[in-house]
Amino acid sequence: MHYEGNIIRPPSEADSILLQITVGCSHNKCTFCGAYKGERFKIKPDEVIMEDIAFAARYARRQRRVFLCDGDALIVPQKRLVKILTAVREQLPWVERVGVYANTKGLAMKSDAELAELVSLGLGIAYTGLESGDDETLAAVRKGADSQRMIDMGRKARAAGLKLSLTVLLGLAGVERSTIHAEATGRVLTAIDPEYVGALSLMLIPGTPLYDDYRAGRFRLPDPMGMLAELRTMIAHTDLTNGLFHANHASNYLPIRAKLPEDKERTLALIDAALAGRVALKPEFLRAL
């Protein structure tokens, strides 16, 4: 397989065939993210992608999923994506689902019919970084979209038949807007009603603008109890029809896996117990990105 730069995939795609069709991220402006710094975004040549699919056909016969890397592979022009998905279907007939990172720009570039076409060819899930539902926070971290844009594009993806997994970042608004961030994020999650939500706790990365703000005293990161209180507020304001709310990433202080709506009250009670000191939090040295 021909890999370039940082290959990043969701935790749930750990056993997937990682097919890199783009390098980097076309946006690459978020102040908290250091994943693709220094990498110039590009779409890889078709011949290289087809070579990798042929390689997977020979050597990756036990994997049942494919994940299209990198940061926003959905931005690839429709004809080329159709060609790639068709090749995956024809050469890897045992593959049950194809996944992709998708930002609002990539989703906006596809018509409803084009998204439905991709779903018909095997695209089954899109992972999107919501990060926050608070417009002021989204603007501050240079996300490139406001909350209404997030809602509109999330609903567009779901209407096309795509499962949707949204990532939110605890601590992203700092101490000052923590509650606002949590409540607004719950509101946006409710409006989109995705199948999956993954909450991560912000870990500041040297070399990023947000880290520089932290070092200069312009940004105050909530402490562990502040992060936990933020998570509680977010879940309290999130109503999903039938979704999984995960906060079991290595960055989090309290692992949580809740099915909403039925596990909501139990989960809030667990967080309350942790806030009261009756449940231990993960030690700092065990946290990781």
Alpha-carbon distance of 32 to 103, in angstroms, equals: 16
The answer on pLDDT for 280 being more than 90 is no
User: Distance (Å, rounded) from C-alpha 139 to C-alpha 123?
Assistant: 30
Domain topology for 11-276:
TIM Barrel (3.20.20)
pLDDT tens sequence across 166-183: 999 999 999 999 999 999
DSSP-assigned letter for residue 76: S
pLDDT (tens digit, 9 = 90+) per residue, 27-86? 989 999 988 887 889 999 999 999 999 999 999 999 999 999 988 899 999 999 999 999
pLDDT by residue (tens digit) across 86-138? 999 999 999 999 999 999 999 999 999 999 999 999 999 999 999 999 999 99
Bridge-based pairing of strands 42-43 and 22-23 is antiparallel
Interstrand relation of 123-131 and 97-101 (parallel, antiparallel or unpaired)? parallel
